[in-house]
Structure 1
Amino acid sequence: MTTTDAPAGPTAPIDPAQRPEPATTAGEREMLEGWLEYHRATLAWKCQGLTEEQLRRAPLAPSELTLLGLVRHLTEVERYWFRIVMLGEDLPDLYSTREDVDGDFHFGEADTFDHGRRMWQGEIELARAAVAELPLDAQSVGRSRHGEVFNLRWIYTHMIEEYARHNGHADLLREQIDGATGE
């Protein structure tokens, strides 16, 4: 990977071979948590070693997708599903507004990747703590925007799907930015 500035990605490099591999014979909870951690680490890996400009670049016009936007979006997703829906916490969106529902993908000059990464990692830690003691069959205290109730098992499964889909986007973005490819 070639960069022209100092990298803006995670300070501790993530070797793709060192991502937390989900156990192949684990119980259900460990399996779900393992796959979610794997996908969280994959997104961090896709962002590592790039400059601030590269992380903000939308190389697949007309799409507005950027790696920074994906990190900000998944920050909102972590917060929404684990804390707002599962626990019923009354929290505002971090980036999106009524006027700009895709605000996580729209950012200004002052919005840095380092700040976005710290917010993302913070929400991941809060999400882990929020559900650590809950059984998979626990029903959400909050409801979705459509009034639905979910169990924790559904939320874990959805989060794995959400990350996997967006990691596919990250693969394409990264290849367009600097030619780097990988699973």
Structure 2
Amino acid sequence: MDRIAIIGCGGSGKSTVARKLAQILDAPLTHLDAIYYDEQWSPLPQEEFAAQQEKLVTGERWIIEGNYASTLPIRLAAADTVIFLDLPAATCLWGITQRRWRYRGGQHHQDGVYDRITWNFVRYILGYRRTMRPRVRKLLREHGPHVRLITLTSRRQANQLITRVRREHQPRA
């Protein structure tokens, strides 16, 4: 697990899993939302966003979290591990509610959190498994047949993964 792409629906826990893994593995972490949006919530032009990811994936070790299906092939081509947080919509909606409570809205570059809840975002979450999941799976088949795919379908599974990685990477006495 040297080059890890973490993907999934908004509110699924990508940022949390990424932060914990980065700490355990001592790997550089990039939150794609922090690159894509500026301080005024304006998105980066698509070509520039893709170019920044092209640079990021040249590193020996990295963790990059964020969905962005249009540039997912860039990350898949270079990744050795993909963690796909495929959680139910209700869990993701609860996740964005907790995030709103914790951050009170806004963008937090240090945490990679983009906390802006709109009705379009809620509809995206509600339809993710029906519309985006098939697209993500197709991209995984086409651009990531070489990766170790870890699909997590609950917060419990995500916590178990963190515990297992922590145990595997503890310094031996």
Select the structure of larger CA radius of gyration.
1
Normalising by structure 1, report the TM-score: 0.26
Richer in strand (by share): 2
Q: TM-score, normalised by structure 2?
A: 0.27
